[in-house]
Amino acid sequence: MLDKKIFLISHIADPDGVTAVVLGKLVFKNFNYALANVDEVDENVKKVLEDPNYDEIHVVDLNITEKYAEEINSSKYKNKIKIFDHHISNNDLNKYPFISVVDEKDGHKECGTSLYYNYLKSITENEYLNRNSTKDLVETVRLIDTWDWEKENKPEAKNIDIIFSMYGRENYIKKYLRFIKTHEEFSYTAFDIKLIEIENTKIQRYLEQKEKEMMKVTIEDEPVGIVYAERYRSELGNYLIGKHEDLKYIALINISRGISYRGKDRIDLSVISKQRGGGGHKNAAGSPLPENLLKQITEIIFKEVNFPNDNK
């Protein structure tokens, strides 16, 4: 294992961000991490960039703002940070030497995990990185995150989302660290397979229920589907956009997390999301919720509410 002291900041939302933690733990002896949302990256980087306890800061499946990138580029810390991103909405940040945004290479779609895996392979000969169990986990995450499972007809890749959902972030990390260290080949356990079977039944019921709740609206003269959903947002978005050809895209609102957008080559969602402070790809993107939204909703429901921190 490498002796460098590394702090990783990666995306909290899905297997693409969290699998990068597994890879980092396989390679670096001194390794800490934080999982963050899109709008929390600058803040998280600032907390650790000047910390002398770390040799390098790695950011995966996320990016910093251009304003902060300019600040780092003019500082002595620009050689301390490496950013691995695959969202085309951040392509302009490639002008900074410490940022690498790669959406596609040689006709091959990339995700945060695959980019980080390729980087780690380039700096060390690590036995665990060379195992088929690791390679297949990385490829499974890439297939589901880029939605290439559809093009390559590998629907079984969707099962990694179920495992992630059922185990939770920390248990997912522990599970695949242990699995890679004890298995040469990638597979699901009998218990995993049973979980997947049960969860697939629940997902289908959820998709059907949320379709009934979806609102069809017009946003900037475009027909859009809006649905409030806290679970299975990728599955739901792709399910709805596939069934409703009259809609340009689906906006899925998780009231405690953010907004996801899903489309099918009818509009560029990286542009739509960037207008709302987010980013992403043509057919899959996300943006943060407006500031103080939860407070505003509470005030609508409970009109006489007073918040203790208000200065009135």
Query: In a structure prediction context, what are the per-residue pLDDT tens digits for the chain, which is 312 residues long?
Result: 899 999 999 999 899 999 999 999 999 999 999 999 888 999 999 999 999 999 999 999 999 999 999 999 999 999 999 999 999 889 999 999 999 999 998 888 999 999 999 999 999 999 999 999 999 999 999 999 998 998 899 999 999 999 998 999 999 999 999 999 999 999 999 999 999 999 999 999 999 999 999 999 999 999 999 999 998 888 899 999 999 999 999 999 999 888 999 999 999 999 999 899 888 888 989 999 988 898 899 999 998 888 886 544
Prediction pTM value: 0.81
Element (H, E) at 15: helix 15-27
Q: What is the pLDDT of residue 229?
A: 95
Spatial contact of 287 and 260, defined as CB atoms under 8 Å apart: no
pLDDT score at 305: 87
CA distances 15 to 35, 92, 118, 137, 172, Å, are: 12, 25, 17, 10, 9
d(CA 93, CA 66) in angstroms, rounded, equals 7
Domains identified in the chain and CATH numbers: 2-188 (3.40.50), 206-296 (3.10.310.30)
Crossing angle between the packed helical segments 66-73 and 41-49, to the nearest 10 degrees: 20
Query: 221-227 contacts: CB < 8 A, separation 24 or more?
Result: 222/248, 222/249, 222/267, 223/247, 223/248, 224/248, 224/249, 224/250, 224/251, 225/249, 225/250, 225/251, 226/250, 226/251, 226/253, 227/251, 227/252, 227/253
Query: How much is the pLDDT for 206?
Result: 96
Per-residue pLDDT at 63: 95
pLDDT confidence of residue 292: 86
